Chains A and B, each alone.
Chain A
């Protein structure tokens, strides 16, 4: 518990430093000025998203190979947190686009691909919700997660190839090439900060899933001993009632 509180405090400090750096220390960008600072969080959240989905992929494979439920727990945590990061990216993108381009959304390669990813992994969560048997839920959603993860590079590649044929305004355009050294440092700091936040949230979600599994197991045990437990309880109640009546 102590270690966890210290860790949380450290991450909070990191977030504060990253935020300060992004908002005040980073130099103003030539054409977009202040609004460009969204770039630091925007890119960082996509980076966190990919890491989370990678964890989900790894965990899904591990579950199918080992059959241990903890990997399934990690898998669903990875996907859920990944979807959260994806949502953040998809909201900050338009918030950046609107003042710069005057439009909320553009079907450029990166945004479109990320939107598809969002839909794909939301489908994973829906699938889990609609499967009832816990074993089936774990193995079938692992299979879907693997297919979805394999699709990720294909989605980005297809959209990239397609957009170079039909050019459109690019949201994160030109930032990667020749980044100002201070900007690079700030970006790295923000990448690290959001990555750490993602890990913290992931670990917590993982713990929640493990606890849920434990609760489900206990429920199952109680139910399978059903008549016994009830019988003892009612026996005890009956004995007590007799005693009371006797007095």
Chain B
């Protein structure tokens, strides 16, 4: 049913349709509206049977999910940024144990400095943990991917996280076509665990594994993720059959058929990128866009296929590996190193810095002229940076850099962006 609805609310209602049995969460901006909405649905009986548990930390949230899932219940939680890091031990544990937990990650920057706005540093911090990571471009996709996530997780016995940009998607009110219960029931069967704590058939789960078998256990997990590369497209096709709209492909290409330059990105920035690309197309540049939906497992083949006619790749990303370069860029580089494409990285949106169509257009125009640097920090104020560097060379006790820079920028309230 078509609704004009806040992204968080769309996700909450869709998750509820997936009949989760144990939901727990610890509040953190910008995820709060999701868990509040689910909590209200449980309290009113709209979502039943379901145990909604207010836990004392994110570490507890993932741990409760682990216990619930191991005991055979469909488990769901949500977090962001600092909360994800607080539970990171349990995040790895869930993947290692092969528990099909679904989690919404409302992407938010990781401090210090503390920052509640959107970027992808949190998702990137756990990209090696063994979770499947799906990125939503729109609130419609965010809602739909959760349905796919439960099905995928339970089929493969792997946890799945659905990433949606904090505030930009979670707090945006947009048109979303919410699924109906019969549709979700047709697509998502009840959870059949591969392993379960059951007195009639006792098993020990979570034993120590030494050097003699650890590599095999890890390799098996890798194979299961590679299986996902096959299963996701198949599930996406089935999704379209049941719900009447596509969702969940590994990648989504836009005007890439004849593109010389392909822009690659994750998440909501793809919308702004498409507008910028359309503008560049008007100007005669042959630019296309490749949105990556499944980030883990990384869809190397699909990416290579989309780049097969391109000569240049521009990765636009909201994450950065301090001391090296882009994070998504590294993955793309590894997947495409022998394609002959040049690779340029644009880092933008860190800590929620707005990414404007105009700035992207300028960057893409430069790329078309082969004038784009290999690494660009979009809209970076170099003067501010230089001022702080000078401060630091002048005196040892130069003070906290973040505070110095804020003072240089002036009253925060006077800036609209």
Tell me if chain B binds chain A.
no
Q: A interface vs B, CB < 8 Å?
A: none
Q: B interface vs A, CB < 8 Å?
A: none
